[in-house]
Chains A and B, each alone.
Chain A
Amino acid sequence: MTTMAPTLAATGRVDGEPFGLRPRSVTIGRVGIYAFLIISAIFFLIPLYVMVITSLKGMPEILAGNVLSLPQSPTIQPWIDAWLHACTGRDCSGLSPGFFNSVKITVPAVIVSIGIASLTGYALSFWSYKGANVLFGILVFGAFVPYQVVVYPIILGLRTVHLFSSLPGIIIVHTIFGMPVLVLLFRNFYAGLPIELFKAARVDGASFWQTFFYIMLPMSLPITVVALILQVTGIWNDFLFGVIYAGRANWPMTVQLQNMVHTTQGVPAYDINMAATIITAAVPLIIYFVSGRWFVRGIAAGAVKG
């Protein structure tokens, strides 16, 4: 489990080059390779393409025409409707409330979970005490537990402290389910730092907290970025916890999108629904496109969970 991160982080062989033979010329083999990759790329891209063009068409054109054809008279009206006017049940204020709910959930949950996980990882790496590894073992086990097993006890727990169906409640839940992977991530990172660094700080008289805040925290920037990508996309994309724990007033965007699309009566407003879907996917997609290889590292980190 602990060996995974380095395996994936290491990009490769001595010179970091791909395995394949250096192509001498255009051969049937090369054509085949590109054909396979391009057809695969089309398979991955077509749904996105269909969504984007559909969201730019009017309903008459959608019902009359070819799904794959470009819009004849592009309009951004579906996007405006999706954001401001589309109905979820009786409430017709578009997706924007859900978007702001998602922001209100994601920002604090990301900060709290990463803060706690970073401190916990530091304590486990440098200040381990008897029993700490047992706790850590249980936590890692938690990464494998199907959510359904602990959903009901957490409802009971949150009810007891009157936080069920509330913003703090859903933030706590995201922190709980983020902890196993994040602690693993931070613990492995700190364990990989030279122990001399810690010893030097101790010799200079730095306390537990001083060593953490002045030495370790600033050094953990790379792993924090990975954790940030992992958490922002994970929490933004969450549906299950949002629908159970957030309460109607705080439903995140994914829940609102799902309700909006599935409460349609009559002919579905494909254009608005697809605009709404793209808007919901936009935040993680932007993070993905901007962060590039960091995102892949985040996946590798998430894979540790597996």
Chain B
Amino acid sequence: MAERTRKRLPIASIIATIPLMIEAVGVYVVGIGISVYFSFTDTVIFPSYKFIGLAQYERLWNTDVWLTAIRNIWVFGGLSIAANLIFGYLLAVFMDQRIKQEDLLRTIFLYPFAMSLIVTGLVWQWVLDPNYGLNATMHGLGWANFYFSPLNDASMAIYGLVVAGIWQGAGVTMAILLAGLRGVDGEIWKAARVDGIPTWRTYLFIALPMMRGAVATAVVLQCIGVLRVYDLIVAMTGAGPGNATMMPAVYVLQLLTDRQNVAQGMAAATTMLLPVLLGMIAIALYRRFAGKAVTA
């Protein structure tokens, strides 16, 4: 890049990057600064500049709804990411067996990802609707005692969300991992075959470690999706029953709108930023000390 840099300041280039400057500075430096700043004030609806220290954070971590949201994001994130990776990799491996109709299957596995999470949420809400979906079907087939209605059960609703998350995300994971799988050097595969290593072991212990980049991409993509999960919750459970499926992203928005407590919302939002910062620092450190490029 260095030889491309002109010594003279390229005026036209500076003009062309004005939107970049406005966004980088205005949104991501000043904007985040404002959010963090307000999290230390007692702003309710209109900006207040009275500094009250960490009181908002103290209050936040003493709020049951927030604690539920934190617990939920771990459960939802842990289960859906793990399931998507396992199911996605299985699909990728099976897709890699010289099967017929690969394109057709790929299209089927991936189409949920093309649709809005609002659509996904509504669809699964109906599938799990006791008066209409799976439950009603089983009754129709004569299983009168069958009862399955996870979304109406505070302790089960989160698993309903996980199923929708898998439906939406397994296909993308498969696509990324399959691309990674096909990027592995063919010679490795031949060598493993010559050595008589069983196919499944080659996939698990040789191919998988060689496609760290694709795995990292899939994981980071999922993590960001989990942290941002909002539409799915709103459409599928409305964070209910009660607040049983509350998530941090939903709670922040509720604080900003219905609950009208901006400073609490900003404290919650700033808290959401922390794992991102920690993750980035971790990746930067890993890159520096492991000396390897981690694609992320």
Binding site for B on A (CB under 8 A): 1, 3-4, 7-8, 10-23, 30, 33-34, 36-37, 40-41, 43-48, 50-51, 54, 62, 65-68, 116, 119-120, 122-130, 132-133, 135-136, 138-139, 141-142, 144-154, 156-157, 176, 179, 183, 191, 195, 198, 207-209, 212, 233, 236-240, 244, 254, 257-258, 261-262, 268, 270, 273-274, 277, 280-281, 284-285, 287-289, 292, 295-296, 299-300, 302-303, 305-306
Contact B176 A148 (CB under 8 A): no
From DSSP, what is the main secondary structure of chain B's interface residues?
Answer: helix
Of the listed stretches B13-21, B50-58, B74-82, B153-161, name the one at the interface; the rest are far from the partner chain. B13-21
Query: Within 8 Å of chain A (Cβ to Cβ): is B276?
Result: yes
Contact A128 B126 (CB under 8 A): no
Contact A150 B123 (CB under 8 A): no
Contact B122 A257 (CB under 8 A): yes
- In-complex Cβ contact of B99 among A21, A37, A145 (8 A): A37
Given contacts A4-B217, A148-B252, A284-B115, contact A11 B182 (CB under 8 A): yes
- In-complex Cβ contact of B28 among A40, A139, A273, A303 (8 A): A139
Q: How far is the CB of B259 from chain A (nearest CB, A)?
A: 13
Contact A116 B19 (CB under 8 A): yes
Query: Within 8 Å of chain A (Cβ to Cβ): is B280?
Result: yes
Q: Which residues of chain A are near B220, meaning CB under 8 Å?
A: 306
Q: Which residues of chain A are near B1, meaning CB under 8 Å?
A: 128, 133, 191
Contact B253 A148 (CB under 8 A): yes
Binding site for A on B (CB under 8 A): 1, 3-6, 9-10, 12-14, 16-17, 19-21, 23-32, 34-35, 38, 47, 87, 90-91, 94-99, 102-103, 105-119, 122-124, 126-127, 132-134, 136-137, 140-141, 167, 171-172, 175-176, 179-186, 189, 199, 207, 213-214, 217-218, 220-224, 227-228, 230-231, 234-235, 238, 248-249, 252-253, 256, 262, 265-266, 268-270, 272-273, 276, 279-280, 293, 295-296
Q: Which residues of chain A are near B249, meaning CB under 8 Å?
A: 146-148
Q: How far is the CB of B25 from chain A (nearest CB, A)?
A: 8
Q: Which residues of chain B are near A37, meaning CB under 8 Å?
A: 91, 94-95, 99, 105
- In-complex Cβ contact of A299 among B47, B96, B137, B175 (8 A): B175
Given contacts A141-B280, A146-B273, contact A47 B167 (CB under 8 A): yes
Contact B182 A12 (CB under 8 A): yes
Contact B27 A146 (CB under 8 A): no
Q: How far is the CB of A59 from chain B (nearest CB, A)?
A: 11
Q: Which residues of chain A are near B137, meaning CB under 8 Å?
A: 66-68
Identity of the chain A residue whose Cβ is nearest the Cβ of B163 in the assembled complex: A43
Identity of the chain A residue whose Cβ is nearest the Cβ of B189 in the assembled complex: A19
Contact A41 B295 (CB under 8 A): no
Given contacts A66-B140, A300-B176, contact A208 B10 (CB under 8 A): yes
Q: Which residues of chain A are near B23, meaning CB under 8 Å?
A: 139, 142, 176, 179
Closest 10 pairs between A and B when the two form their complex, measured CB to CB: A127-B13, A306-B221, A208-B12, A237-B116, A12-B182, A153-B31, A20-B97, A13-B186, A288-B114, A306-B220
Contact A44 B109 (CB under 8 A): yes
| Cα–Cα distance between A217 and B238 once the two chains are bound (Å) | 45
Identity of the chain B residue whose Cβ is nearest the Cβ of A4 in the assembled complex: B295
| Cα–Cα distance between A147 and B24 once the two chains are bound (Å) | 15
Q: Which residues of chain A are near B183, meaning CB under 8 Å?
A: 7-8, 10, 12-13
Contact B28 A20 (CB under 8 A): no
Q: Which residues of chain B are near A54, meaning CB under 8 Å?
A: 126
- In-complex Cβ contact of B176 among A44, A179, A254, A303 (8 A): A303
Q: Which residues of chain B are near A130, meaning CB under 8 Å?
A: 5, 9
Contact B179 A183 (CB under 8 A): no
Contact A129 B10 (CB under 8 A): yes
Extra contacts, 5 of them, besides A289-B107, A299-B175, A303-B218 (Cβ < 8 A), are A47-B127, A128-B4, A148-B252, A237-B117, A285-B111
